[in-house]
Structure 1
């Protein structure tokens, strides 16, 4: 999703207020974001936490 928006990890990390290293670890699945940060990421992509982090799409 990040690449579709043509954003680098560094650019998105800056938007989210975290370091590029922290964002990279989240994207690689080596670190888990806080619930509030996961919500912020989901909101940025106009998506859900489940879809972004679990690959599950829900129809509410």
Structure 2
């Protein structure tokens, strides 16, 4: 589910400019913005710092499940 509130916070900046400010790739930022992925706590805090909101906003929404392959050790 698209995070319209985050798009509004980004304002006139491009996704690339926002990603550069946060220190992540444009693709990662785009996936966070459109709701395909949730940011890590570290990235959520950085995005919130850049755009001036509470980082916990990301986790107050319905969580998007991600599946990771486990590597046998």
Q: How many residues align?
A: 52
CA distance in 1: counterparts of 2:23 and 2:50, whole angstroms: 13
4+ aligned runs moved over 2 Å, structure 1: none
Task: Between the two structures, name the one with larger relative contact order (CA 8 Å, sep ≥ 6).
Answer: 2
Q: 42, 52, 63: which one pairs with 1:36? A: 42
TM-score, normalising length: structure 2: 0.63
RMSD: 1.5
Unaligned residue ranges in structure 1 (runs of 5+): 56-60
Normalised by the size of structure 1, how large is the TM-score? Answer: 0.75
